[in-house]
Chain A
Amino acid sequence: MLDELRELYQEVILDHGKNPRNFRDVEDATSQAHGSNPLCGDQLVVYVKVGDDDIIQDVSFVGKGCAISMASASMMTELVRGKTIDGANHMFDHVHHMCTGEGEDVDVTEFGEDADRIGVLSGVREFPVRVKCATLAWHTLKAAMEGKEEASSEA
């Protein structure tokens, strides 16, 4: 029992869950979106600042949620900063595929060292009811990049 749980709640997740990084707003954000998981009432807002060169200069979030959703959001902000919108979208596709088994399998070589860090979230596959916790922040980021104001983990 504890082994499976350790797969889900890896040290990195527990750490990010307790001490989320970039847990703040971005004053000069170019866009932001609100995400909610109607199942549990978890809520978060993701802020992004994208430069003229399409590069994500800053990204942050605020909100309330379980360890998985907080950790996923926190790790996401670290992972996508400095990436292009295209690059961030690829990462979204990969996370989505990895957690749900849906969509295209993404060639992870393009993520280099980041691939392992993203892989930490793959434990949710064994916990179907928790998949939405892991993907909420990513859906919200995607919504923000697309100029939408609302995202739902149902998306």
Chain B
Amino acid sequence: MSDGATVTKDSTDIYDVERYRRDFPILSKPMNGKPLVFLDSAASAQKPRQVIDAMRYVYENEYANVHRGAYALSADTTTAYEGARTKVRDFLNAAHSREIIFTKNATESINLVANTFGRDSLKAGDEIIISTMEHHSNIVPWQMLRDQMGLVLKAVPITDDGEFMMAEYEKMLSSKTKLVAITHTSNALGTVTPAAEIVEKAHAVGAKVLLDGSQAVVHMPVDVQALDADFYVFTGHKLYGPSGVGVLYGKETLLDAMPPFMGGGEMIAQVTLEKSTWAALPNKFEAGTPMIAQAIGLGAAVDYVTEIGMDRIRAHEQDLLTYATQRLSAVEGLKILGTAPVKAAVISFTLGDIHPHDISSIIDRAGVACRAGHHCAQLVMDRFGVVGTTRASFGLYNTRAEADALAEALETAREFFG
């Protein structure tokens, strides 16, 4: 795989993909007797040794509950847990660590906002705007809230290329719009949305904005202050971290004004039988014992990608995207869904009328792991009139040779169903 290394902006600075691959133990394990070609990082990314070791270290050396014991061990755990929060703060360039709330995943982060901000500051007739490109986790919570509160839910359509239709969005915005919840990068199409512009236009009518960064933070540097996002969510397991931890960033003034999500330990200041008062941020939103080792693992993942550099990861993946797009386009009958000019390294495609599951079974035998189906984005599938697609998504450890392996496996699929 000598062509795996690509040259980044600084031409002396070689992106040594083989070195990074060695950090991921699973990548050297065979799959169906073939080297594993893992092209499903958009569903969940593999974990580097640094993350696995950090979690093991917690359990072997510094594990106790956080924010509770007055003994040294608990203090060590608390320091590591809060250290992870600081790392996430730096990663997103949030103004304060207390604006970073640890949740279970992106889904929980969105539900938290729906159930606190949504319930507290919206009223019947108010409007929420999403897009047809959203993952189900950024659709269903708003539908539920709409049905409970009598809200109106609108969805910005997308173009044939899978681009966010700004003009349609502008038409939908009005003084009734109270919240705009849009993906920063589409998991089904790879489209990177013009998030800063979306935020600016929403703010102009007084609406708040939640950006779903689950697929964005893994592919590019993100600065929540530059975006001026009110809420920004992502999930740990797609960022090379463990499952079981997600992040909600919220502007301090908003989080402060919001009621708690869940009640319990950790989130209170005082409890009497008559009433309780809430802890300060971020604890107000972290009821109960949190996902301690997972948060620390996420901190290690953030360190890992930061050390490589998100801009270098982006450059490497953009090279793969261009290369793989060319390679796949040459496969007869292959049609790529999602051809927006600004895209992350995600390629969704159909191949003739071969069902995605049949494609997946065939390429799986060649060791190539791709996701097949609707990718939790049925509105996108409906938009393009397909039941599902096959999706190849690339991460920091993928190579051009792996794009070749995919293209070759797809030729086999064509032969079979030809």
Q: A: which residues have CB within 8 A of B? A: 1-2, 4-5, 8-9, 14, 39-42, 64-68, 127, 129-130, 133
Chain B residues lying within 8 Å of A1, measured Cβ to Cβ, are 32, 34, 365-366
B365 is contacted by which of A5, A39, A67, A68 (Cβ under 8 Å)? Answer: A5
The residues in B between 357 and 381 inclusive whose CB is less than 8 angstroms from any CB of A are 357-358, 361-362, 365-366, 372-374, 378, 381
**Contact status A66-B416, CB under 8 Å:** no
Q: B: which residues have CB within 8 A of A? A: 32, 34, 354-358, 361-362, 365-366, 372-374, 378, 381, 387-388, 412, 416-417
Q: Closest A-chain residue to B365, C-beta based?
A: A1
**Contact status A8-B361, CB under 8 Å:** yes
**Contact status A41-B388, CB under 8 Å:** yes
Q: Closest B-chain residue to A127, C-beta based?
A: B361
Whole-angstrom distance between the alpha carbons of A4 and B381 in the complex? 31
**Contact status B365-A40, CB under 8 Å:** no
Q: Which 4 A-B pairs have the closest CB atoms?
A: A66-B355, A66-B357, A1-B365, A66-B358
Q: Closest B-chain residue to A129, C-beta based?
A: B361
**Contact status A39-B373, CB under 8 Å:** yes
Chain A residues lying within 8 Å of B354, measured Cβ to Cβ, are 67
**Contact status B365-A64, CB under 8 Å:** no
Whole-angstrom distance between the alpha carbons of A5 and B32 in the complex? 12
**Contact status A40-B366, CB under 8 Å:** no
Chain B residues lying within 8 Å of A2, measured Cβ to Cβ, are 412
Closest Cβ of chain A to B136, distance in Å, is 12
Chain A residues lying within 8 Å of B366, measured Cβ to Cβ, are 1
**Contact status A65-B361, CB under 8 Å:** no
Chain A residues lying within 8 Å of B374, measured Cβ to Cβ, are 40-41
Q: List 17 A-B contacts (CB under 8 A).
A: A1-B32, A1-B34, A2-B412, A4-B365, A5-B361, A5-B365, A14-B416, A40-B388, A41-B374, A42-B387, A64-B387, A66-B357, A67-B354, A67-B358, A68-B358, A127-B361, A130-B357
Whole-angstrom distance between the alpha carbons of A65 and B348 in the complex? 18
Whole-angstrom distance between the alpha carbons of A143 and B362 in the complex? 31
Whole-angstrom distance between the alpha carbons of A127 and B373 in the complex? 17
**Contact status A9-B356, CB under 8 Å:** no
Chain B residues lying within 8 Å of A42, measured Cβ to Cβ, are 357, 387
Whole-angstrom distance between the alpha carbons of A14 and B357 in the complex? 14
Q: Closest B-chain residue to A70, C-beta based?
A: B355
**Contact status B361-A130, CB under 8 Å:** yes
Chain B residues lying within 8 Å of A14, measured Cβ to Cβ, are 416-417
